[in-house]
Structure 1
C-alpha cells in the first residue's frame, strides 16, 4: 500500500476514535460537562492532535455535513427522464440521509444525529451551527433544483419547496429525539430515523405524480 494511503487510513482511524470518544462522553457525562481535553484523552491523542481534525467541540456533532450535501446534489444531477421536481428532491434528501460519510457507520451516525438534535435545544453555539448548516444546505439544494428545472421552478419556488420538505423532516426528527439516547442501541436508533423520515416524506411522494409545480413569478 502506498505511504499516502497508509497515512489516510491512520487519519481516518484517529478521526473515528475522536468521534467515538466524544459520543460516549456526551452521552454519559453531558455535552457541556465534556471538554476537548477529555475527548482527546479518551481517544488516546493529544489536544493538539484533536484540533488537527476538528476546529471546535461543536464540530464533532456535524462530521459529515458537506458529504450529505454532495450526495443530495449528485442525486439531483442524476435525475431521470420524466421525474418531477418533488420526486427528485425526495430522492436527493434520501441520498443525503443514506450517505453519512464513509467514516461513519449507521450506529455512530445515528447517535450523533440524536445528540445534535438534543444539544441544539440547550446550547446556543450548537443551535446556531445547526441552523446555519441547514440554511446553507437548503440554499445549495434549492439552487441545484432550480438549475435542474428552470422552466418549472424559479429561485423562490425552489427555495419554498426545499424549505417545506426539509422543515417537515426536521420537525419530525426533533420530536423523535426528545428522549436521551444514552444506552440506546445505535442500529435501532438509525432504523427509527429512517422510518420517521420515510413516514414524513410519504405524503409528498404519493402526491408527487399529481402535483404540477409551475413557475412562480
Structure 2
C-alpha cells in the first residue's frame, strides 16, 4: 500500500505557504490604503503578520510586486474569460463580453485571496498614486500585447502581418483606461459602478469612430 503521508505533508506545506502569502498581501493592501503606498514599509507589513522580512521576500520581490499581485489575478481572470468566448464572436464583442463577465464573477475569483471590496480600494489607490500609476500604464502595454495575440489566434491571423488585432485591442484598452480613471475619481467605488461605466463606454466605441460628432452623444439612461 502506498504511503500517502508525504503527499499530505506536502499539501499542508503548500496551504500554509499560500495562507502566509495571502496574509502578507492583505496586510500590505490595508496599510497602503490606510496610510499611503509611499509611507508604508516592508517592516510594517511583516510586523502586522508577525513574520520576518526574509519571509516577505520569499513571496514578493518588493512593495511594487505586492501592490499589483491581485491585479495580476484580475488580468488573468479577464484573459481566461476572453479565451472562453464563442469562437465566432467578433473581436470587440468578445472583449466586451469577457470584461463584463469578468466583473460579474470577480468576487468568486478573488474570494480565496482578498475580499473584492479590498481589491477595488487597492485599484483606486493604483489610479491615484503616481508611482503606481506609471507602473500600471507600463503593465497595461504588456497586457495589450497579450490580448492582441489572443485575439489574433482566435481570428486565425498573423499578428505581425495584420494590424487589426492590435488596433482593436488598443481601442478596447483605451476605453478601459478612461473608465478606470473616471471611476477612481468618483464616489462610488463598487464593482457595480465600474461595470456600468465600462459597459456604457464600450458601447460608444463604434459611434465614436463612425458617427458625426456634431451630433450630441446619447445620454446613458436617457
TM-score, normalization: structure 2? 0.75
2:149 maps to what in 1?
143
Query: Which aligned pairs between 1:46-61 and structure 2 lie closer than 5 A?
Result: 46-61=52-67
Tell me how far 1:141 sits from its aligned partner: 0.6
CA distance in 1, matches of 2:198, 2:172: 10
Structure 2 unaligned runs (5+)? 1-6, 208-222
Deviates more, 1:106-115 or 1:95-104: 95-104
Aligned: 1:158 with 2:165: yes
> Which residue, 77, 80, 89 being the options, matches 1:74?
80
What value does the CA root-mean-square deviation take over the aligned residues?
A: 2.8
Give the 5 Å matches for 1:1-217. Answer: 2-80=8-86, 82-97=88-103, 98-99=105-106, 101=110, 102-119=112-129, 122-123=130-131, 126-150=132-156, 155-178=162-185, 189-203=190-204
Q: Which has the higher contact order (CA 8 A, sep 6+)?
A: 1
Change (3 A) 1:178 1:156: same
| Residue correspondences, number | 196
Check whether the contact 1:173–1:193 (CA below 8 A) recurs between aligned residues: yes
Is the CA contact 1:142–1:155 (under 8 Å) kept in the aligned structure 2? no
Contact persistence 2:22–2:113 (CA under 8 A): yes
Q: Could you say which structure has the larger radius of gyration?
A: 2
Unaligned regions of 5+ residues in structure 1, if any? 208-217
Q: What is aligned with 1:213?
A: none
Distance 1:78 1:68 in 2: 15
User: What is the CA–CA distance in structure 2 between the aligned matches of 1:145 and 1:159, rounded to whole Å?
Assistant: 9
- In the TM superposition, residue 71 of structure 1 has moved relative to its aligned partner by 3.2
TM normalised by structure 1 equals 0.76
Q: Shift of residue 203 of structure 1?
A: 3.8
